[in-house]
Amino acid sequence: MKRHFILTAGLFLLLLLSNCGTARRGVPMFDPVNLENQALAQGEKVYMSYCQMCHPGGTAGLGPAINNKPLPGFLIKYQVRHGIGMMPAFKEDAISDKELDNLVAYLRVLRKSKDKELM
């Protein structure tokens, strides 16, 4: 029980710290994402439906920037499913598991696109 609490507290702390990012707003920090893959196109649709309004283009808006957080996929999924702070939770009836996988893939490409811009 104690070990479970420590693991949960550690994950919460990691997610909390991952919300500290740039306050840069406005100008996109990256080139447009190439969406040749069907899964990435679906991930973009999910992003545009549920994420874009608070994280425009992956940058900070109402929520913090999400394209500069090198979180592993399972933590991104956890944050989407459970929400943190002001971010609402998106359960399976809103975003299916497959759509969530596609969203994580899209966010990875979005991050890589941003990283390429910084080179």
Q: Output the pLDDT for position 62.
A: 84
On the 0-12 / 13-18 / 19+ scale of CB atoms within 10 A, 99 is: buried
Phi, psi of 53 (to 5 degrees): -65, -30
**What own/partner pairs with CB < 8 Å and gap ≥ 24 does 86-90 have?**
86/62, 87/54, 87/63, 90/50
pTM over 0.95: no
Chain center to CA of 80 = 8
Q: Output the pLDDT for position 29.
A: 47
CATH of the domain at 60: 1.10.760.10
* Confidence check: pLDDT of 108 > 70: yes
Q: How confident is the model at residue 8 (pLDDT cuts 50, 70, 90)?
A: confident
The whole-angstrom separation of Cα 97 and Cα 77 is 9
Q: Containing domain of residue 112, as a range?
A: 2-118
| Domain total in the chain | 1
Q: pLDDT by residue (tens digit) across 53-99?
A: 998 888 888 888 887 777 899 999 999 999 988 899 999 999 999 99
